[in-house]
Amino acid sequence: MRRTAYLASPYGFAESTRHFYTDRLLPVVRSHVDVIDPWEADLPDADERAERWLALGEFHLRSITERADLVVACLDQEPPDNGTVVEVAWAAAHGRPVVAYRNDLRQGGEEGLSYNLMIGAVVRRSGGLEVTSLDELDRALGRMATPV
């Protein structure tokens, strides 16, 4: 049985990143694990009530705890997307290892860190690891994708 990964990212929000997500990132991740893709969900319209957005957020968190064996989190941007950071912390708090992908050249954390020290600490405590390229992500998932 293949492992399942929740793919946390802000890449579905903008046309400029959707192609990277669908054409580059998803194929790498799917070559190793079954993917829970939060961007497959129907997004609320801009004029829909906040309750619909909150329900969607809760659905995503339940997907991590109830269906995912691990989380692949895309932490490009400076600072990384708030929602993705929450998904990282949620996964770690619920015993899911996090593979943190960051290909952003900017340093955003304390000296020597790619992002805030707390994000790095959560990834480490989850039993996961940090990668900086799709090739590294591919190799890391190859090692982590052994059946549970």
Give me the DSSP letters along the chain.
---EEEEE-STTS-HHHHHHIIIIIHHHHHTTSEEE-GGGSPPPPTTS-HHHHHHHHHHHHHHHHHH-SEEEEE--TTTTPHHHHHHHHHHHHTT--EEEE----S--SSTT-SS-HHHHHHHHHTT-EEESSHHHHHHHHHHHTS--
> pLDDT tens-digit profile of 118-134?
899 999 999 999 999 99
Q: Model pTM?
A: 0.90
Confidence of residue 50 (pLDDT cuts 50, 70, 90): confident
The highest-level CATH class for domain 4-144 is alpha beta
